[in-house]
Chains A and B, each alone.
Chain A
Amino acid sequence: MPRLRRSADVVWEGNVARGEGHISAGTGAFTGLPYSLATRIVAPAEATSPEELLAAAHASCFGMSLATELASGGTPPERVDVTCTVTMDEVQGRGHLIVDSTLQVTARVPGIDGDSFQQVVEQADEGCSMSALIRASATISVNARLEGGDDGD
């Protein structure tokens, strides 16, 4: 697998307080998503933000990582459901920082027991490139449970 590059474009107009930007994916998967300081910090008002985009990245990255680890162990998932919440906070003397990413995971995995599943979840967190990315500066929490399934609890 060769190195990969992905890009996104933003157009911003104005100063921070009253300005506005639009976010577009290089692939065209999403285009012209509006955002502003007010929608980032105060209330989303149907506008995305950098933290929301990071949450989408982490949720999708972790889902793939978990599927990979489960399949390597001979128990590929029927379904993995990941909700990621990214928190930004104002840190004394350092301004706004992304401080936490919390993952809630529910998975339907035939043929795995609860303990093995939790071990695989840990491996998935260690192997997830997005977890590795932000671990140096933010906390990451993963809460995972099995749902239904042949041998699930």
Chain B
Amino acid sequence: MATDRRAEATWQGDLMSGSGTIESVGSGAFGPLDVTWASRAEEPQGRTSPEELIAAAHAACFSMAFSNVLAQAGHPPEHLATTATVTFEPGTGITRSAIDVEGSVPGIDEEAFRAAAEDAKDNCPVSGALKGNVELSVTARLRNA
């Protein structure tokens, strides 16, 4: 079953002096959000950017996939905290998405936890979309009592 998700953005002017807005998204969950070239490429000044949105998509997708891999292995997680960091190299484009995750997962050992993280990193849908062009990595820490 296919799912479609939609967003609308506008831009006015040229790149350097112009500005844009992510006007709305289908769910209504966020927007309007301002974007500028300076905040994308230099200091963010509290504004989002395509790279940050990709990081958010990847962190969200990975977390869901990771919880699924863990649950299927018989160890559903209590809590996962994920950070995704996307790197843009001028002249090349988006080159990396690095995931860091810390989890509370009762009953699992560190090795199995890391293997599950690698599985989720390799197979979540957003990784699938990025894989052909981007270096993907995951560092995973188990934080069990």
In the complex, A97 Cα to B73 Cα: how many Å? Answer: 22
Question: Provided the pairs A27-B47, A57-B50 are in contact, do residues A50 and B2 lie with their beta carbons within 8 angstroms?
Answer: no
Find out whether the CB atom of A67 lies under 8 angstroms from the CB atom of B83: no
For B128, what are the chain A residues with a Cβ–Cβ distance below 8 Å? Answer: 97-98, 137
CB distance from A81 to the nearest CB of B (A): 5
Judged by DSSP, the binding face of B is mixed
Question: Provided the pairs A8-B52, A8-B55, A13-B78 are in contact, do residues A54 and B88 lie with their beta carbons within 8 angstroms?
Answer: no
Q: Which of B8, B9, B52, B125 contacts A6 (CB 8 A)?
A: B52
Give the total number of A-B pairs whose CB atoms are below 8 A apart.
Answer: 322
Find out whether the CB atom of A15 lies under 8 angstroms from the CB atom of B68: yes
Find out whether the CB atom of A48 lies under 8 angstroms from the CB atom of B129: no
Residues of chain A at the chain B interface (Cβ within 8 Å): 1-16, 19, 21, 23-30, 33-35, 37, 39-41, 44-64, 66-68, 70-71, 76-90, 95-99, 129-130, 132-138
Extra A-B contacts (15), CB below 8 Å, given A60-B11, A60-B50, A83-B7: A1-B42, A4-B87, A6-B51, A6-B52, A8-B55, A12-B80, A15-B67, A19-B64, A27-B49, A29-B46, A30-B30, A30-B56, A35-B64, A77-B11, A95-B125
